[in-house]
Amino acid sequence: MEWRARPVSLAWSNPVIRWWGLLSLVSAANIAVWFALYRQFHEQANGSLSNTSGIGLMLLLCAAYVFGCAFRSVLPRADVQRICLVDTWLSSVVVGRTVATVAEVCFAAQWAIVLYQLGTMTGAETTVTIAWIIVPLIVIAECFSWYAVLTTHYLCNAIENSIWAVVFFLVGIALCRLLPEFHGPVRWAFIVAIVGIAAFLAFLMTVDVPMYLNRWRANLAAGGTLLHPLEGLRDVSRRWVVTHDIAEWREEIAWMSLYFSMAVWSSLALCVGYSLEDQLPRYRTEPVIVSTSVTPAAQRTATIETAATPRN
């Protein structure tokens, strides 16, 4: 093990410590919500909830994301810089990146399952197609992430986050395709999700991706050299730098705060949404099909009666 610490105050007056405490608090609340959902769904299934069932699988995938993000909140680290807050082998990049990879693929799988559910229910082929390509794209993004971590190549971080942007742009398209298929609270839930995705994309393209591109250019200007992947693997396994200096963490705070809070909330929300499958048909906006053999006057009467009939 190789490490070094930069002595900075651990007092509550240190903004890094306050941020760390907030991350830990939010993560504890997220875990509590997950257990509440598990208990609720378990009781609904009369104690027969199986991990092979639909909601059981969704809860399992959500657990990987919730607990993975909690782990990364309690033991924050910045991969390429090799910095962390706690001096333990669990803060090593190889451990943290492995946890992140599993969690992020599971999160992508949640979105794929929910979109496939909604797409097949409504016959929306665009949504079903997008559901099938989400996970493969995120696996590719994870490959770029690992290469960036091993070699310290920030350009690959920028590519990774650009792929995430493409994925959620496609998710937004899938949700837009579903808007005409539903009314009431379901449609409003889709609108809220679309607005959230738009905000996420704006953050990625104006803050996150430019940050990595700037680091890449700065490294090039400084004549920095990249590590060979095998050399990088040894490095991420053995070296971590403990620092509580706000200057070291300033650029990480924004994306970590959003990632370990709002992204986790969306994972929990996907579980809830998936569990409501039986209630979704009542909010469908299926058109009334009128037989061509009916007279025009009867068609008009049927249309008026249909429009006057309230939906449940």
Contact 183, 285 (CB under 8 A): yes
290 Cβ neighbours under 8 A, 6+ residues apart: 299, 302, 303
Question: Do strands 83-84 and 239-243 pair parallel, antiparallel, or not at all (unpaired)?
Answer: parallel
The one-letter code for the residue type at 72 is R
- Segment among 41-45, 257-261, 266-270 with least mean pLDDT: 41-45
The mean of the pLDDT values for the chain is 87
Confidence band of 288 (pLDDT split at 50, 70, 90):
very low
At 42 the pLDDT is: 76
Q: Return the structure tokens found at 273.
A: 């949404």
At 224 the pLDDT is: 82
Share of the chain above pLDDT 90, in %: 71
At 293 the pLDDT is: 46
CATH says 2-307 is which class? mainly alpha
Highest mean pLDDT among 9-18, 39-48, 164-173: 164-173
At 300 the pLDDT is: 47
Q: In a 10 Å sphere around its CB, with 0-12 CB exposed, 13-18 middle and 19+ buried, how is residue 213 labelled?
A: middle
At 75 the pLDDT is: 94
User: Given a cut of 60, is residue 172 above it in pLDDT?
Assistant: yes
Confidence band of 45 (pLDDT split at 50, 70, 90):
low
At 287 the pLDDT is: 53
The one-letter code for the residue type at 217 is R
At 277 the pLDDT is: 84
At 279 the pLDDT is: 87
Hey, is 189 helix, strand or coil?
helix
Residue ranges of the domains in the chain?
2-307
The one-letter code for the residue type at 270 is L
186 Cβ neighbours under 8 A, 6+ residues apart: 280, 283
User: Given a cut of 90, is residue 50 above it in pLDDT?
Assistant: no
Nearest of 253, 235, 236 to residue 244 by alpha carbon: 253
Nearest of 80, 38, 87 to residue 63 by alpha carbon: 38
Share of the chain above pLDDT 70, in %: 85
Query: Cα(219)–Cα(222) distance, rounded to whole angstroms?
Result: 5
Which CA distances in Å does 25 have to 11, 81, 96? 17, 25, 19
At 312 the pLDDT is: 41
User: Given a cut of 80, is residue 303 above it in pLDDT?
Assistant: no
At 2 the pLDDT is: 46
Q: Which residues pair with 305 in a beta bridge?
A: none
At 264 the pLDDT is: 96
Contacts 24+ apart (CB under 8 A), 61-64: 61/106, 61/107, 61/109, 61/110, 61/113, 61/267, 62/34, 62/37, 62/106, 62/110, 62/267, 62/268, 62/270, 62/271, 63/34, 64/102, 64/103, 64/106
Confidence band of 206 (pLDDT split at 50, 70, 90):
very high
Render pLDDT for 241-256 as a digit per residue (tens, 0 to 9).
999 999 999 999 999 9
Render pLDDT for 14-29 as a digit per residue (tens, 0 to 9).
899 999 999 999 999 9
Confidence band of 137 (pLDDT split at 50, 70, 90):
very high
Hey, is 90 helix, strand or coil?
helix
Across 232-247, average pLDDT: 90
Q: Return the structure tokens found at 33.
A: 């919500």
Query: Cα(117)–Cα(9) distance, rounded to whole angstroms?
Result: 50
Across 44-65, average pLDDT: 75
Render pLDDT for 120-131 as a digit per residue (tens, 0 to 9).
999 999 999 999
Q: Give the Cβ contact number of residue 224 at 10 Å.
A: 13
User: Given a cut of 70, is residue 231 above it in pLDDT?
Assistant: yes
Hey, is 299 helix, strand or coil?
helix
Query: Cα(61)–Cα(105) distance, rounded to whole angstroms?
Result: 9
